[in-house]
Chain A
Amino acid sequence: MPEQLAFTIEVFLNGLMAGVLYALVALGFVLIYKASGIFNYAQGVMALFAAMTLVGIQNGQVPFSHLINAILGTDVHHFGWHVHSAIAIVFTVAVMVVLAVCVQRFVFRHLVGQEPIILFMATIGLAYFLEGVADLMWGSEIKSLNVCAAEGACLPQGLNMWIDETTYNAFGYGFFIDNLDIVASIVAIILVVGLVMFAQYTKQGRAMRAVADDHQAALSVGVSLNFIWILVWSLAGFVALVAGIMWGAKSGVQFSLSLIALKALPVLMLGGFTSIPGAIVGGLIIGVGEKLFEFLIGAPFLGGATENWFAYMLALLFLVFRPQGLFGEKIIERV
């Protein structure tokens, strides 16, 4: 196989993996948007918050320790214990549920019936708020995140040697693919299947779809909107946690983690805001598209770092021709 072609295929595969991670973030957006019509800009910060909480609990950090030290003059930092990953994840999920209840109770219950754009701006405010709280709670330094099921069974790092060797023997060219990306893809697939099953086959899932379809009709047959919204925000918090673990294990838990929300926005525009398959397909298209564009056109001709804007330009061009996205519902307007 010619070198250039093999290289392109490798870029393609890596793009596919990156796309899966984008889709993972986009999924959280779609969940909330379908059920409540809120476009949740804070999803990326929620991922950051979840990952920081997980690391904090794992390492036994004292929450708000910097603030407490500054006010009381004490010097506390750690409880001095390490928590097993599984237990830490359970606690983090609990924190995300509490967060969901608070968000619903204190913010969005007061904004029911407002225009979508007002809700969108409120989530931007929420994102700033959460980011500040996360930093105050756990400190803003870069943390490394590793989730281990048992001793020696952690999230894998580094390149996958097996693929490298097998492809080298088969084509004379070894493909470099991260172990973590493979795990992330598998987790994403399980998560999507799980969510679809939940929405299709459980009572709460059905209620969730009913709310997404028509608020008032759902209300009139006895579905509690309040409960469904809390449920949906909790689910989005859970998805954020998964995304946070994957991205955090890849590049460390730091502020830039919250910027993955900005990566997920064009994915949503491409796939349509209301469609779970749309989020997946959109994520894959954007992931592959930006890696291939950077490799074939960006780096040789445009000076590189085109990944920042390529997704947006693609989505913009796409929207001009199909405003509702690939799988979105057709937008009908009435006066």
Chain B
Amino acid sequence: MFYREAGDFNTSYAEDQQTFPIKFDRYRYYVVLFIAIFVVPFIINDYWANSFLLPFLIYAIAAIGLNILVGYCGQVSLGTGGFMAVGAYACYKLMTAMPDVSMFIHVLLAGLITAAVGVLFGLPSLRIKGFYLAVATLAAQFFLVWLFNRVPWFYNYSASGQINAPERDTFGILITGPNTEAWATYMFCLIFTIASALVARNLTRGSVGRKWMAIRDMDIAAEIIGVNPLRAKLTAFAVSSFFIGISGALFFSIYLGAVEVGEVFGITKSFLVLFMIIIGGLGSIFGSFAGAAFLVLLPVLLKIVGVDWLGWPTDIVAHLQLVIVGGLIVVFLIAEPHGLAQLWRVAKEKLRLWPFPH
């Protein structure tokens, strides 16, 4: 009834190619942005920030990054945890080496460093494909975690082997360390999340993104029609690692504050982010958000239902969570390989006609 393109006349090419061509979608997008920026910071409290909003925003960035590599370029990577660790440790080294520089710069630099590492580990993708490559990226995962565990320079020779985020501010507002306000950390992450989504969306619909998708759909055919596989694959690795590095830096400095690399950035983290994009939708920016929200909320919900309402022991709930996540992955791959994003798309198609049958 209200969700249709009738009466919405585009008068320029720019209008014709905008991200949300339907008026209702566009307004919905503005409303979501408005609420996220101008409403949530005033009502946020520590519980909501730490149990849902911060992990959601940070995982969304990681999921966007991995989605670029897996969903758009078709190169499956299981090294996400390792690349997040690179972002975290790069951020830590920068924070301790240059205390006066703004955190914005540190996080961006951490992203750039991760991009360089990502390109290095992306080089084998030129020779090997499919799950051979997936297994090869495990090399990055194990090697990087080992490196940060064993080389004392990376954790500044601290006795515990952990890294702890020192107190840093941006424009006079404290955003890392133990004495932060919930709204400040939330806004800091939100800015990065919105920027990442915008950049990713515009990259993937431009010529770079089309080259990635050509490589994904059939790499030899893409090569024949003139896509340079070297550049396409390596840019995908670089951009993807850049986002994942940013999310790793935020995960360490803003969300956790202290990190033990094997525990936080182990292989389970790689699988978690991969599951987010499978459930959310491969090759979709919205899907990255949906998947991140889903897998961040699921444990919280299960804990509320299982432990608080039913009074079950926590270990049973934790095992049940494994069963549910694993089962969902299989169900989604069988029933809806494009994930929650596709369900959303189908719903929108239905809305266009509703309430008329044809």
Assess the A265–B150 pair: CB atoms within 8 A.
Answer: no
State which size class the interface on B falls in.
Answer: 35 or more
B245-301 CB contacts (< 8 Å) to partner A: 267, 271, 274-275, 278
* A149→B206 CA distance, assembly (Å): 67
Q: Check: B124 CB closer than 8 A to any chain A CB.
A: yes
Pick out which of these stretches binds chain A: B18-26, B35-43, B128-136.
B128-136
- When C-beta atoms are compared, the residue in chain B nearest to A302 turns out to be B150
Pick out which of these stretches binds chain B: A12-20, A81-89, A127-135.
A127-135
Q: Chain B nearest CB: distance from A74 CB in Å?
A: 14
Residues of A within 8 A of B224 (CB): 335
A-B contact count (CB 8 A): 140
Assess the B128–A320 pair: CB atoms within 8 A.
Answer: yes
Assess the A111–B334 pair: CB atoms within 8 A.
Answer: yes
- When C-beta atoms are compared, the residue in chain B nearest to A66 turns out to be B316
Assess the B220–A308 pair: CB atoms within 8 A.
Answer: no
Q: Check: B315 CB closer than 8 A to any chain A CB.
A: yes
A135 and B322 contact, Cβ closer than 8 Å, known pairs A320-B124, A335-B224 = yes
Pick out which of these stretches binds chain B: A178-186, A239-247, A281-289, A311-319.
A311-319
Assess the A308–B142 pair: CB atoms within 8 A.
Answer: yes
Q: Chain B nearest CB: distance from A163 CB in Å?
A: 33
A129 and B322 contact, Cβ closer than 8 Å, known pairs A117-B134, A262-B267, A316-B136 = yes
Pick out which of these stretches binds chain A: B111-119, B164-172, B197-205, B324-332.
B324-332
A116 and B142 contact, Cβ closer than 8 Å, known pairs A303-B151, A319-B136 = no
* A262→B78 CA distance, assembly (Å): 12
Q: Chain A nearest CB: distance from B214 CB in Å?
A: 13
* A130→B327 CA distance, assembly (Å): 9
Residues of B within 8 A of A121 (CB): 76, 274, 278, 329, 333
Q: Chain B nearest CB: distance from A180 CB in Å?
A: 26
Q: Check: A5 CB closer than 8 A to any chain B CB.
A: no
Assess the A122–B139 pair: CB atoms within 8 A.
Answer: no
What are 18 contact pairs spanning A and B, CB under 8 A? A39-B131, A66-B316, A70-B310, A122-B334, A125-B325, A126-B326, A129-B322, A131-B326, A135-B322, A262-B138, A266-B135, A303-B151, A306-B146, A309-B139, A313-B139, A315-B136, A323-B132, A335-B224
